[in-house]
Structure 1
Amino acid sequence: MTAALAEKNGTHAARPAAPEGPPPTTPRRGPGRERAFDDVPRWQIYVPLGIYLVFTLVPFYWMFLFAVRPAGSTSLVPWPMTGEHFSKVWNERSFAVFFQNSMIVGVCTLVATTLVALAGGYALARFDFRIKNGFMLALLCSQFIPGALMLVPLFEIFKNLRMINSLGSVVIAETVFQLPLSIILISGFIKNVPPSLEEAAWVDGCSRFRAFCAVVLPLLRPGLIAVGSFAFVHSWNHFLFALMFLSEQDKQTIPVGLNTLIGADSVDLGALAAGGVIAAVPVVIVFAFIQKWLITGFSAGAVKG
């Protein structure tokens, strides 16, 4: 009744304060909430990991061992070390020329693949046209066509164009076979960039091309680095196209050069191992410097959200 009279007079009765209790605490995790790996014995994790590392690292160590130990040595420790095999393959076996040719092919393929994939990916991500789904399906299906199946047609095409024994033929072939997957990847990265960012640039007076260069392109850096790095590594290591289209020794690349070190009756293991180390160094350097961008590009796309 007192509360009713207080409400009638425009006042409110004071409510008793709730008793202060202990601050809320986070419930402790019981045994059932422990992570799955906490219940697994450590040896069940380290043994498979150790086996994997053995099969992965031992071949590289074996190659390095043959490359740096003196000829005729049977030691399993790379000491004393020698550079005679590197000097032999670099100077006597024309590996300096092979390295230069591979670098030209790799860089040109990287640039061509990235630029064309950027244009194709933008078209798929931003424009709607009648054959868009069919074009995307064709790109996916083209990944099931082995490169060896197209060697003879490509050889005839380059022969008619007088591009045999030209590094340009290898660059074109490598770019064509890497474009489908690169376009699909770049298209996915561009779709993660909100179109409203471009529209805001258009309102400010930017053309589509300028808005793309100023707004979208900086956000595509992880994706572009991922696509470009794989284009470079694939062209650097690819053997078939260089073997088929380049017959002159001064135009051959490192994979073909390594094949020339294998004779019909004998193999110079020291020279072959040194050539393998030389071939692996650029790839290791590339991935060492761009691994952060690769992880960002393939895990989260160009932008988050």
Structure 2
Amino acid sequence: MTMVTQRPVAAPPKQTAAPAAPGNRVPRWQIYLPLALYLLFTLVPFYWMLVFAFRPAGSMAIFPWPITLEHFDTVWNGMGFAVFFRNSLMVGVASLVATTVVALAGGYALARYAFRGKGAFMVGMLCTQFIPGALMIIPLFEIFRTLDLTNSLWSLVIAETVFQLPLSLILISGFIRNIPYELEQAAWVDGCSRLRGFLAIVLPLLRPALVAVGSFAFIHSWNNFLFALMFINDQEKFTVPVGLAYNLGENSVDFGALAAGGVVAALPVVIVFAFIQRYLVQGMSAGAVKG
């Protein structure tokens, strides 16, 4: 019996590690420098508005010291800004409620029911977002004149609601599609009607979407200038943007009073965003997901 000697098998050569690729991390200054420039470009006008609003008349100081509230008193009591503020608040709240209620009912129908022409209806709503509001001034004015709604705050509420509905319907319907339909079916099995099941199951889950839709409707109606300028003639029914525009004199401008009015006009929007910012991204992202 012969012994077969096996040659030792050579170990495979060790593979040297490839050199590490250069890091893909972006230097911090390339991120923070553009953000700082954008923030500076955005905040400088607001800073100058605060300077003009709080520094005494005739002062050229860069910092508002000593601080005075005389411009706010002039705007609020002398220029009737309290009436403009009340009118804008009424229009904003009414538009918020009308847009939210109609969008909630329509969005549920679009999300849960299948009907002929549903796709064309959705495309039509999207196409309305490409129409500038200025093109609808004459048709809307004729409609409101026929309905005897000219020079009425209700004309602003109706116009704002109509223009806010397409986007609101899309957001609400997209959000409802993400809510499992089985939750409603379980409520029906337990004896709930469709309305009661909607109120008990679906509505509490729609809080982010409702906050997003309502806040956009309020802010858009609060800032809208064109509709209020064209549909309202009585100074007692002016809104905040139109009131600010009419305070511009022909030969002179009271920059302190105008800046104080701008601060008062921006304050509700800032407060709204401060309280609802955590709901905005969640509501918009959920409504944008295809169900």
After superposition, give the CA deviation of every residue in 1:27-82 in whole Å (9 maximum; x if it has no partner).
Answer: xxx95496x43xx3332222211111110111110101000001111000111110
AA in 1 matched with 2:248: I
CA positional deviation for 1:291: 1.0
1:207 matches 2:193: yes
2-side partners of 1:236 and 1:182: how far apart? 17
The residue type equivalent to 1:77 in the other structure is: F
In the alignment, structure 1 residue 252 sits paired with structure 2 residue 238: yes
- Candidates 266, 277, 281, aligned match of 1:291: 277
Q: Which runs of 5+ in 1 are unaligned?
A: 1-29
TM-superposition CA deviations, 1:237-270 (whole Å, max 9, x none) = 0001111111101101000001011111111111
1:212–1:138 CA distance, 2 compared to 1 (3 A): same
* Alignment of 1:170 onto 2:147: no
**Mapped partners of 1:99, 1:122: distance in 2:** 34
In structure 1, what residue type is equivalent to 2:258? L
Cα distance in 1, alignment partners of residues 187 and 123 from structure 2: 32
1:188 aligns with 2:174: yes
Provide the rounded CA distance (Å) in 2 between the counterparts of 1:136 and 1:115.
19
| Cα distance in 1 for residues equivalent to 2:31 and 2:116 | 52
Determine the structure 2 residue equivalent to 1:104: 90
The structure 1 residue matched to 2:254, chosen from 268, 272, 283, is 268
Q: Which sits farther off after the overlay, 294-303 or 208-217?
A: 294-303
* Structure 2 counterpart of 1:69: 55
Matched residue type, 2:99: T
Q: Given the superposition, is the C-alpha separation of residues 301 and 143 from structure 1 closer, same or farther in structure 2, using an over 3 Å criterion?
A: closer
* Contact 2:175 2:286 (C-alpha < 8 Å) held by counterparts: no
TM-score after normalising by structure 2: 0.90
Whole-Å separation in 1 of the counterparts to 2:86 and 2:20: 60
The letter for the 2-side match of 1:63 is M
Letter matched to residue 47 of structure 1 = L
Name the structure 2 match of 1:281: 267
Kindly indicate whether residue 82 of structure 2 is the aligned counterpart of residue 89 of structure 1: no
1:93-142 Cα deviation digits (max 9, x unpaired): 00000000000000000000000001111011000000101110110111
* Whole-angstrom CA distance in 1 between matches of 2:284 and 2:33: 29
Choose 279-288 or 45-54, whichever is displaced more. 45-54
Provide the C-alpha distance between the structure 1 equivalents of 2:256 and 2:49, rounded to a whole number of angstroms.
9
Equivalent residue in structure 1 for 2:37, among 43, 51, 56: 51
Q: Distance in 2 between matches of 1:241 and 1:91?
A: 25
Are the aligned partners of 1:261 and 1:272 in contact in 2 as well (CA < 8 Å)?
yes
In structure 1, give the amino acid aligned to 2:50.
F
Per the alignment, in what secondary structure is the counterpart of residue 107 of structure 1? helix
**Residue 222 of structure 1: how far off its partner (Å):** 0.3
Cα distance in 1 for partners of 2:22, 2:265 equals: 49
Q: Deviations over 1:133-189 (max 9, x none)?
A: 111011011111111101011111111111111110100000001101100110000
Q: Which runs of 4+ in 1 moved over 3 A?
A: 30-34, 299-303
Taking the aligned partners of 1:272 and 1:31, their CA distance within structure 2 comes to: 60
Q: 2:142 aligns with which of 152, 156, 164?
A: 156
Q: Which residue of the partner structure matches residue 119 of structure 1?
A: 105
CA distance in 2, matches of 1:62, 1:256: 21
State the distance in 1 between where 2:29 and 2:275 align. 33
CA RMSD of aligned residues (A): 1.7
Q: Which amino acid aligns with 2:152?
A: S
Aligned length: 272
Match 1:198 to one of 177, 180, 184: 184
Helix, strand or coil: the match of 1:120? helix
Structure 2 unaligned spans of 5+: 1-18
Task: Work out the percentage of aligned pairs sharing the same amino acid.
Answer: 69
